[in-house]
Amino acid sequence: EVQLLESGGGLVQPGGSLRLSCVGSGFTFSSSAMSWVRQAPGKGLEWVSGISPAGGDTPYADSVKGRFTISRDNFKNTLYLQMNSLRVEDTAVYYCARKTSGAAPFDYWGQGTLVTVSS
């Protein structure tokens, strides 16, 4: 059974930092492209960043470029999102999601972790 388990969310002040993690199991993590997708309270889905299976390709949404960094450790089956210079508008549930290739749907999603940016 495929599982994606996010962690690391919490309350942080504007300008602060947070690192999210997502552990994958039940599939070959090292062969899967991964992404972070977020959902602000009561809003729709917004793709944040993605990473290729080997980690060499890491696109970002314009809204987070220069502030967030995506990475992965294929030995630990873990995806990361380092979030710096956080803003109130970054408040959202952050989901990790898997897809089989670059241009493909997200076939598995985690349950999400809530990030709240507030003073």
Partner 1 sequence: EIVMTQSPATLSVSPGERAALSCRASQSVSSNLAWYQQKPGQGPRLLIYGASTRATGIPARFSGSGSGTEFTLTITSLQSEDFAVYYCQQYHNWPPSTFGQGTKVDFK
Chain residues binding partner 1 by CB under 8 A are: 4, 35, 44-47, 50, 59-61, 95, 97, 99, 102-112
Q: Tell me the closest approach of the beta carbon of residue 52 to partner 1, in angstroms.
A: 11
Q: Which three-class secondary structure state does DSSP give residue 29? A: helix
Q: Tell me the closest approach of the beta carbon of residue 111 to partner 1, in angstroms.
A: 5
Task: Give rounded-to-5 percent helix, strand, coil for the chain.
Answer: 5, 50, 45
Nearer to partner 1, 54 or 107 (CB): 107
Let me know: does 89 contact 99? Beta carbons within 8 Å. Answer: no
Nearer to partner 1, 14 or 106 (CB): 106
Return the beta strands (E) in 1-119 as ranges.
3-7, 10-12, 18-25, 33-39, 45-51, 68-73, 78-83, 92-99, 108-109, 113-117
Nearer to partner 1, 9 or 47 (CB): 47
Nearer to partner 1, 75 or 103 (CB): 103
Q: Tell me the closest approach of the beta carbon of residue 82 to partner 1, in angstroms.
A: 18
Q: Tell me the closest approach of the beta carbon of residue 15 to partner 1, in angstroms.
A: 25
Which positions ≥6 away from 30 have C-beta within 8 Å? 53, 74, 77
